[in-house]
Each structure stands twice: as structure tokens, then as C-alpha cells.
Amino acid sequence: GQVANLVRYDIAAGGVAAGPASGMPETGWYWNAAEGGRGYFIEAQRDQIFFGGFMYRADGQPVWYYFSAQAVANAAGGVTIQSPLNLCAGGQPVSDAAHVPSCASTGQSVGLVFTNPFTATLMLPDGRAISLARFTLY
């Protein structure tokens, strides 16, 4: 019976109204079918991309990684971003009182390479590459 107002914020000046520039990835949820319990969200406005990764540590605690940067065209006909990686942890657990997460830079860099608007490769600081695909419900 409660109402919650959701607000979409600009990640680039006038970005919500302008939408993504030509060639940018599709905004929405992405995933890798081999990674249970992980999800990724990508927002594209103008030539800016905001990326959020939502997952769990080995001890079961949730962590969120995020970064945002300007996208540049790549040789594959898509876009690439390179950015410092940030981490938020210690947030709200399911069965406890409210907790505010702490967020900070990891001191590492991450890359995201799109070859088309629906698939990407996430390049992690340790050299691993994770394939991501746009998740659609319908």
C-alpha cells in the first residue's frame, strides 16, 4: 500500500532528456549466465556510461562496484570506457537495522568494451575478462 517515487538522475549534463549518443550501449541490466548471484546495470546518457556491479563476497556479504566515464569509439564499431573502480560494502543486510554502506576507490582501473549495444566484455583489474549480455525479460 505504499508509494515510492523513483528518480532517474543525470550522469551527464541534460543526459536523461538527451538519452544516449549514437552507438552507445543499451541502458539496462546485464549478466553472465555462468555467474549466479551477480548482476550488472549500465546507464548510458550522451557519451557517458555509469556501470554498477552487484554481487556477494565469499562470506555472503553484499558488495557493489561502480564506475563512470566517457565512452570512446573502438575499432569493433562499439565503445570502450576505462575508469577507476569504486567499491561500496557494509550496507543494509536483509535481517538487521539500517546500515549505511562505506564507499571508496579500490585504487585499481577497470575497462568495459562493447562490440554492439547488447554485449560487452568487462576487463577486471586482475586481467580476467567477463562476457556480459543485456538481460531482457520479454
Strand-pair partners of 51: 42, 67
Strands 48-56 and 62-70: antiparallel
- Which phi-psi region, left, alpha or beta, contains residue 90 (left: φ > 0; alpha: ψ -120 to 50)? left
What pLDDT does 57 receive?
85
61 Rama class: left (phi>0) / alpha (psi -120 to 50) / beta: beta
Q: What digits encode the pLDDT tens for the residues 41-76?
A: 999 999 999 999 999 888 878 899 999 999 999 999
pLDDT of residue 62: 84
User: pLDDT tens, 73-91?
Assistant: 999 999 999 999 999 998 7
pLDDT classification of 134: cutoffs 50, 70, 90: very high
What is the per-residue pLDDT for 94?
66
- Per-residue pLDDT of 3-35, as tens digits, reads 989 999 999 999 999 999 999 999 999 999 999
Give the pLDDT of residue 56.
86
- Given its phi and psi angles, is residue 36 left (phi above 0), alpha (psi -120 to 50 degrees) or beta? beta
User: What are the pLDDT digits (tens) for 91-130?
Assistant: 776 677 777 889 999 999 999 999 999 999 999 999 999 9
The CB density around residue 22, as the number of other CB atoms within 10 Å, is 6
Query: For position 101, what pLDDT does the model report?
Result: 87
